[in-house]
Chain A
Amino acid sequence: MNIIVKFLSKSIIEKKFRSFIIIFSVTVSAALFFASSGLAGTMSSMYEALIKMQTGKADLIIFPDRNSPSNTFKIKNDKINGVAYTVGDLSVGGVYKLSEGESKISGTKTEKLYIKGFNLEELEKLNPVNYSQKAVGKGFIDNCIILSKLFADKYGYKVGDRIEIEIGGINKILTVWGISRPTGIFQHSPQSDSMMSVMPLDTLASMFNMRGKVHNAYVVLEEGSDIQNVKNELSDLYTRYTVREPFTVEEIREYMQFIVVPLYLMTVMVLFISIFIIYSTFKVITTERLPVIGTFRSIGATKRMTDIVLIGESIAYGIIGGILGIFAGIAVLYLIAMIMASDPYNGQLEVSIKFGFIQIITTFLLALLVAIISSWIPISKASKIPIKDLVLNQTESKTVKKGKKAVIVSLMLVLSFVLPLITPKSVSIIINVVSLIVTFAAVIICVPFITTYILKMFENIYSFIFGNIGYLAVKNLKDNKNILNNISLLAIGISVILMINTISYSVGIEVLNGYKDWKFDIMVSLNGDRNSEQVLRSIDGVEGTYGAFESWQGIKVADTDYSIGYLQGIDISKYRDYVAFRLDGKNDYDEIFKKLDEGRYILIAMMAKESLDVKVGDELILEMNAGKKTYEVIGFFDSIMQNGSNAIISQKYFKSDMNQPYYNRFFVKTSKDPDLVLASVKEKFMRRGVWGNTIRNMEKMNYESNNQFMIILKAFSVLAMLIGIFGVFNNYMISFIERKRTIAIQRSVGLSKRQTLKMIFIEALTGGCIGAIVGIVGALLMLWTVPKIMLAIKVPLTIHYKFDLFVISLIGGIIISVIASISPALKTSKFDIIEAIKYE
């Protein structure tokens, strides 16, 4: 047994590049699996930490929703079993006016502040303040304020200083009572334009005449109490308010699906490549070892012992790759978490990764499994060869009949195309992912057929272009397993990288198109009437305005589990001047819009149409603020706003059914620099809590948000390609060893060194070209399924194809293949012909 272990370790160390490729493949697969499986948990804990910063120890929060009679409420003193204590807050906006000197430095005249009113004792219990400075001997009452250290440092305030802040339109002189480090509720996100501050609850309540009332209530439960029971009881008590956990893991996990599903998909692709590389490498390993196995067997080693030699080698690779994969996985997970931490919409998350023992074990087992499964077929084939054949080196491998393969591939392709069409929505994610993988596998199995057909086409062309050497090169490519492996590896790598880049490009185009639909420059959120619109129009640089009625809260469609994410009540006379509206079909726009105003009619975005499965004339019951209202579908339009979950009704009915008499948003066209106009708008409506952004900036933020996860996916695809490239290099070296004799034969009958180089170059060029073509076909087939997966994870996407990407893939494939062939080509042209030719 010792000799077997010795032989095993020697063979791993001897073939360094080959061992490296196998270990690298296993490591990357394991690392990506580790990162993919740990991402949901990690992001959940990161979001949990972010939310906990705001809500402290609260187990439940109570806040008003659109059905609430008011945006404030009183905390009821009824005894609820399980509730330890309840803390309430008031939230208002404040404006700090900068001195002229400060203004010049920062380029802005004001600094916005969030001001939260808390009873300090309660706040300390709920979410302790981390003071860097604090008043001594003075109670936190009257006109006191706790500033964030970031703010205090920026403007030079310390405890005891007086500060003038405009709150609710009135300038107040406040005394700095404390300065908090930027943690807890003082946590500041770089994406936010306001810094947090805290004032006594009573002071704010009296300023706004809201004594005894709060905007939010934070409920901390007694240990061991049943959260669901308490939630139910509180919901009964605060009937018209929302009672819920600050966050639920399910919500975050669902939110994270848009990244986790694609990551798993990429992991599967990488697994595919790894299995393929390990499988093909082990075929070479077993072939190489056959004479040694024969010798071992002839001197008395049992079949089990020789099997252990080979299986032991794959287990060794699995163990090493598994251990490295776990460490690499931790690093990858941390990297992904770091990239995802900068959320342009939800703020900066604290980077911390979360994984458990089970995840470590699963990853390790996966690595082991990948190594064993990939090597099993070649090993079991070798194991079945009789000793006599081993000793006499009479080993011929049987190949699966081409007809049988064709049937399997056809079945796989049909399945992958038909399944998504007939799959119920409930299982569509898994079926579409399976369909994509099956498509991918079918393309790889097809490589020999495709290669044969393409080579047939090339035969005459090559003879014409490259002469007889071209003809010979084509002949050499036929049935050359290493070249076929290279084509497969290139095809896998290119299809994955092309798919990801096309998705990334499509997302970019969709975002761009989405913003192109907006024919205005600034979006302003402001509750206002026609007078407000007049004021807005009077601002210098404002060319035109459109008052919008919008709901982004999700209007539930009764009897379905679908909510319309974005509902607009439009002014039919002006809407199309501000938004590019594309109606589906050959409908008359004016007629449809006219009808919209005549009753409870609704236009639905195409994506929503698919999800709701409705047609013109169907009725939808919407759960609106004024109760359930029935709308008749009169048409469909093309829009990706809110991921396609949007609908349009008439302004008239929006006002009445949503109980919303005023505009809540304005679309502004400008004649001057939108940023300058926006600054003027903000200044003008400073006291009214205005929010606004330029379309240019919104587009940038959206692009950045999408870009974050596209970077991760691209990194995964690059890794897939990298393993593929290593595989290609390895195959060329194997090919060199295997073809040494054949080339020597050709050299003996007159093949010159120059011709050898030319022939190998043509072979590499052709291999790369075919690999890229198959890769492109694979990518196109997979991209057919991708929109369905995206739709299943609620991110509808139209695929846009970029010609350049396809050309780059083709050229890239050829370059990789040619570069990989340089070293073997040089070696081939230099080896000793006699040495290679003389011995069988």
Chain B
Amino acid sequence: MEKIIEVAELYKTYMLGTVPVEILKEINLSVDKGDFITIMGPSGSGKSTLLYLIGGLDKPTSGKISIKGNDISVLSDEEQSIMRRREVGFVFQFYNLVPNLTVEDNIMLPILLDGKKIKNYRSKLDEILEVVELSDRKNHTPRELSGGQQQRVAIARALINEPDIILADEPTGNLDSKTSDEVMKLLQRINKDKGKTILQVSHSHETAKYGNRIINVRDGRVWE
């Protein structure tokens, strides 16, 4: 299988006041293309930090993270931003939509930031809206949507630029069980039908069952 993500000897240390705290230690990990991985672990174990490091939202203290063979820890801010637009799509627990933008604009955000013409992506947008079942809501603002709908918008935003990797940080953490189920099924469909690699962070074994692999993070280390 093609290795899409490779993490080698990864360390991440934060300063808590004047005290250094080692969040991640000696992480070695590889993800195959098409995997649906659930990263699990107790609060403060470093699972979200690992996800953000893979997504290029943060820089490791040491070690190497490769996305499709490219070491992202050496990229400049500009290059990392481009990587976030094109190679990965993020889905967050609190949806993280821009409140004053419409559903359409929120979904198109990576396209806009990539300097591409929106009109070339209209049909793509319609297609994705159909997948997330929000075709009738594209002119609404996030505050006019329910939590589940907002999360589906966030998933659509993650898909619009057709990245190979979807990174989801507790995507159902803020949803009721029925809506959680819907969102997880959607992610599963995206994984299976579109061949997207998904890494999700979760506390719940219920959601983990939608994936094909579980990685445990405890005390800053990875256990499988």
Contacts and interface: CB of A to CB of B under 8 A. Distances in A.
Contacts of B109: 472, 746, 749-750
- The B interface is mostly helix, strand or loop, or mixed, namely helix
20 contacts: A468-B115, A468-B118, A469-B112, A472-B113, A475-B100, A480-B100, A746-B109, A749-B84, A749-B89, A749-B109, A749-B110, A750-B81, A750-B85, A750-B86, A752-B78, A752-B81, A752-B82, A833-B58, A838-B48, A838-B92
A398 interface: no
Given A749-B109, A749-B113, A752-B81, A476 B100 contact: yes
A837 B101 CA distance: 17
B113 A468 contact: yes
Interface in B172-215: none
Interface in B69-128: 77-78, 80-82, 84-86, 89-90, 92, 94, 96-101, 105, 109-116, 118
A479 B89 CA distance: 28
A699 B82 CA distance: 67
Q: How large is the interface on A (under 10, 10 to 19, 20 to 34, 35 or more residues)?
A: 20 to 34
A755 B100 contact: no
A748 interface: yes
Contacts of A753: 77-78, 81
A837 to B, nearest CB: 6
B113 A750 contact: yes
Nearest to B78: A752
B112 A837 contact: no
A117 B204 CA distance: 110
A745 B97 contact: yes
A838 B201 CA distance: 13
Given A749-B85, A753-B78, A755-B113, 18 more contacts: A468-B111, A468-B114, A479-B100, A741-B96, A742-B98, A742-B99, A746-B109, A748-B92, A748-B96, A749-B84, A751-B81, A751-B113, A752-B78, A752-B82, A833-B58, A834-B58, A837-B96, A838-B48
A742 to B, nearest CB: 5
B67 to A, nearest CB: 14
A471 B97 contact: no
Given A475-B105, A833-B57, A834-B57, A750 B114 contact: yes
B94 to A, nearest CB: 5
Contacts of B78: 752-754
A834 B84 contact: no
Interface string A431-449: 0000000000000000000
A834 B169 CA distance: 12
A288 interface: no
A599 interface: no
A735 to B, nearest CB: 13
Contact of A475 (B89, B96, B101, B113): B101
A478 interface: yes
Nearest to A838: B48
Contacts, number: 84
Smallest CB-CB A-B distances: 6 pairs:
A750-B85, A752-B81, A468-B112, A750-B84, A745-B96, A750-B113
Nearest to B101: A475
Report which residue of B77, B85, B98, B114 has the largest number of chain A beta carbons within 10 angstroms of its beta carbon: B98
A774 to B, nearest CB: 21
A451 to B, nearest CB: 13
Contacts of B92: 748, 837-838
Interface string A714-748: 00000000000000000000000000011011111
A747 B90 CA distance: 11
Nearest to A836: B96
Interface string A799-840: 000000000000000000000000000000000011001101
A755 B57 CA distance: 16
Interface string A461-495: 00000011101100110111000000000000000
B157 interface: yes
A476 to B, nearest CB: 7
Given A834-B52, A840-B94, A748 B85 contact: no
Nearest to A829: B77
A750 B111 CA distance: 9
Contacts of A834: 49, 52, 57-58
Nearest to B89: A749
A75 to B, nearest CB: 85
A453 B97 CA distance: 25
A469 B81 CA distance: 14
A754 B79 CA distance: 11
Contacts of B48: 838
Report which residue of B49, B82, B100 has the largest number of chain A beta carbons within 10 angstroms of its beta carbon: B100
A755 B80 CA distance: 13
A833 B49 CA distance: 12
B98 A752 contact: no
A752 B78 CA distance: 5
B82 A750 contact: yes
A43 B155 CA distance: 73
Nearest to B80: A752
A755 B100 CA distance: 19
A752 B101 CA distance: 19
A478 B100 contact: yes
A746 B52 contact: no
A745 B98 contact: yes
A768 to B, nearest CB: 20
Report which residue of A467, A475, A748, A834 has the largest number of chain B beta carbons within 10 angstroms of its beta carbon: A748
Report which residue of B57, B77, B101, B113 has the largest number of chain A beta carbons within 10 angstroms of its beta carbon: B113
Contacts of B86: 750
Interface string B49-60: 100100101100
A473 B182 CA distance: 34
Given A753-B77, A833-B57, A834-B57, A748 B90 contact: yes
Nearest to A748: B90
A777 B44 CA distance: 56
Nearest to B81: A752
B201 to A, nearest CB: 11
Interface in A288-318: none
B46 to A, nearest CB: 12
Nearest to A471: B112
Contacts of B157: 749
Nearest to B94: A840
A63 B9 CA distance: 106
Nearest to A753: B77
Nearest to B100: A479
B77 A752 contact: yes
A750 B58 CA distance: 13
Contacts of A840: 94
Contacts of A755: 81, 113
Nearest to B49: A834
Contacts of A742: 98-100
B84 A746 contact: no
B151 to A, nearest CB: 13
Contacts of B57: 747-748, 833-834, 837
Contacts of A467: 115
Contacts of B94: 840
A748 B84 contact: yes
Contacts of B100: 475-476, 478-480, 742
Contacts of A469: 112-113
Contact of A750 (B96, B105, B110, B118): B110
Report which residue of A475, A478, A744, A834 has the largest number of chain B beta carbons within 10 angstroms of its beta carbon: A834
A718 B33 CA distance: 64
A448 to B, nearest CB: 14
A746 B113 contact: yes
B137 to A, nearest CB: 18
B83 to A, nearest CB: 8
Report which residue of B57, B97, B99, B114 has the largest number of chain A beta carbons within 10 angstroms of its beta carbon: B57
B76 to A, nearest CB: 9
Contacts of A475: 100-101, 105
